[in-house]
Amino acid sequence: MRTIRSPRVVMALALVAAACSNGDAMTPASTDDATFGPLTDDGSSTNASSISTTASEGSGPGTDASTGPGSDDSDSSGSEDDGSSSTGPELPSECDDGIDNDGDGYADWHRDLGCYGPGDHTEAALPRDEEDGFTTFEIPEGSLAIYVSNDGDDSNDGLTPETAVQTISHARDLVGDVAHDFILLRRGDTWRGTNLGRFKAGIDAAHPLVVASYGDSMELPRIELEGFFIDHNGQSRSNVAIIGLHFVSLLGDPQDPSFTGAPVESIRYVGGGTGLLIEGCHFEYAEIVLGSYGGLEYDGVEIRRNVIERAYHANTCTPGNPNGNYDYRPSGIYASHINHLTIEGNVFDHNGWNQDQVESACATIYNHNMYVNGHDMVIKDNILARASSIHIKLLSDAPGDMIGTVIDDNLFVEGEIGVSAGGNEDDAYRFVDTTITSNVMTDIGRSMPTGRSLAWAIDVLDNDGLLVADNVVLNNRYPELTNGFGLNIGGGSGRDYQIEGNLFWRLRGRAIRVYPSGGHEAIVITGNEVVDPDLSSALVEHRGGFGGYTYADNRYYSNAGADDWFSLGNAGTVDIAGWRAASGEADAQEIALPAYEDRDLEGYAVEIGAGDTLEELLAVARGQNRLTWREDLTAPVINAWIREGFGR
């Protein structure tokens, strides 16, 4: 047995631990994607006791390495441990005590951007790992802060809340280009039919142009869109941070008079740029689109801690064609040829379809929670729920078109496919050095969104360097799910795979399915636990020869008859002795049924007092924002609770 750890896989795993630092640009982006043509730009148109509730993550792009974005011109003070005493009663947070503790002229979470919310213990803008994972800012001397409120007036200067301007478009005109300026929207207010056009640029990733919020309300500023909020439209824009806004596409809102069922993208970054951050926002009915275009490329884009739900298009139902309408293909996020894209800590729910609100908005095989392509991409700590079809669809249409992807510690539920790294084309080695680690996938396929009987967790084809490790794949409990697996290995090419330390539990049909090919080599499947407690399913289905494959030290249990534990395709089924003989896995272990707690998300909802159904749990999770953040509603905490029930 050998362990596959190519240099790129090691580097990618290090990126996760370092919270995704920017690196060198990769292959230049394609310029012939028909999806991206420049559009006309108008420029200015209109509670469990055992579960913690405070998050802490590493710093990343957009945060000053020592004191936070823009803080080099101000006196930062305090730390996240300030504000409490180990020997007396807890003192008020610096961000909620009515005092300008850091002397910058701004007090508390209402006004000080060094505070991510009332729970922040210091007004100083610190690195993310000292800000419970959030990006915070100082407003340094020389930077403009333009306040915008519904009862403002565009004849005002906008420099204070009392002299706020009224329109976002006027605020855009007042801030500088290539400037570390701020547009601050009053929380609780609503703007309709407004946008920033192509917008402007910041100075660098540590000193971006910022659109954020202020005020006493806990309700995010609401932006009601009739088109794009920002559309780069084939141009280059860099160093912009969009923080804590609520976007609703009016064209997709069935309750709005402007409803058409044909929402457009909320954010359309099509062109090029660096240092782009979208954090703590809520997106309803409209997808985020990122695409390098026209010889330009994006490098260093972060989509983090947002709620992205119900991106869809009407008229996706196609009578007589269960696949649906190919013409409309919305996903929560679509990304093409993006370098160093980080998608972290978000809630994706019910993207690609909306049939319970709009009858013709069916789930289709073309629409997903995310549909992404790029180099050195990190997808971590996300909740991925109820996709139209695939939760994470990786797109690569040519050899090496997607390199260095990390998918780590995400939570997947329902939809019909968890991760797809294959499909579309059949060229060799389209995906290079992919890691899929420490994820939890449960009840994939349960709601049968497209009507198909699929329950596919991880599907990999044509990879060159692949690590699938320490994942927990659970529960295909419904008899209608006749086409399921925990892991599928196929395609005409594949080398240097390490499949290790995973748990496959109660998966209907088979847990691991392999379609060997002469183009497969150095594929190692070792140290996994494969258990079917009650479905009488095969544990491994290996449909061909074993050349290029090494099985070692896996542990097996099924309640099926002993002769039906393993399928050899046309050669029939065998018991564990037959499997040892056929596969060469001499150390294959037959184990007793483990006494696990068999945890699921409905049980977790009960555990934290969020009802007892998936819908109730997701409704609470969709309420996440930086002002009301709960760590017990994040994927890493939920995953840890589920894993603990299964002895991990």
Considering only 171-175, 184-188, 274-278, 395-399, which range has the smallest mean pLDDT?
A: 395-399
pLDDT of amino acid 1? 34
Considering only 355-359, 395-399, 533-537, 556-560, which range has the smallest mean pLDDT?
A: 395-399
pLDDT band of 369, cuts 50, 70, 90? very high
Residue 70 contacts by C-beta under 8 Å, 6 or more apart in sequence?
Answer: 64, 125, 137, 138, 139, 140, 143, 180, 206, 207
**Tens of pLDDT along 242-260?**
999 999 999 999 999 999 9
In 10 A of CB 181, how many CB atoms?
24
pLDDT of amino acid 91? 64
Percent of the chain surpassing pLDDT 70: 86
Give pTM, 2 decimals: 0.88
Q: Where are the alpha helices (DSSP H) in 28-157?
A: 108-111
How confident is the model over 29-45, as a mean pLDDT?
Answer: 36
| Residue (of 491, 465, 467) closest to 403 by Cα position | 465
pLDDT of amino acid 490? 96
Tokens for 594? 């483990």
Task: List the chain domain ranges.
Answer: 376-648
How confident is the model over 298-325, as a mean pLDDT?
Answer: 95
How many Cα neighbours within 13 Å face the side chain of 503?
Answer: 21
Rounded CA-CA distance 234/546 in Å is 49
Buried b / exposed e along 619-639 (16+ C-beta atoms within 10 A): ebbbebbbbebbbbbbbbbbb
Rounded CA-CA distance 176/117 in Å is 27
Q: What mean pLDDT is reported for the chain?
A: 88
Q: Quick check: 3 pLDDT over 70? A: no
**Tens of pLDDT along 133-190?**
999 999 999 999 999 999 999 999 999 999 999 999 999 999 999 999 999 999 999 9
Q: Quick check: 575 pLDDT over 80? A: yes
- 4-11: long-range contacts (C-beta < 8 A, 24 or more apart)? 4/465, 4/466, 4/467, 4/496, 4/497, 4/498, 4/522, 4/524, 5/467, 5/498, 6/433, 6/465, 6/496, 8/403, 8/404, 8/432, 8/433, 8/465, 9/433, 9/435, 9/465, 9/467, 11/404
Q: Quick check: 421 pLDDT over 50? A: yes
pLDDT of amino acid 423? 73
Rounded CA-CA distance 195/172 in Å is 9
pLDDT of amino acid 83? 39
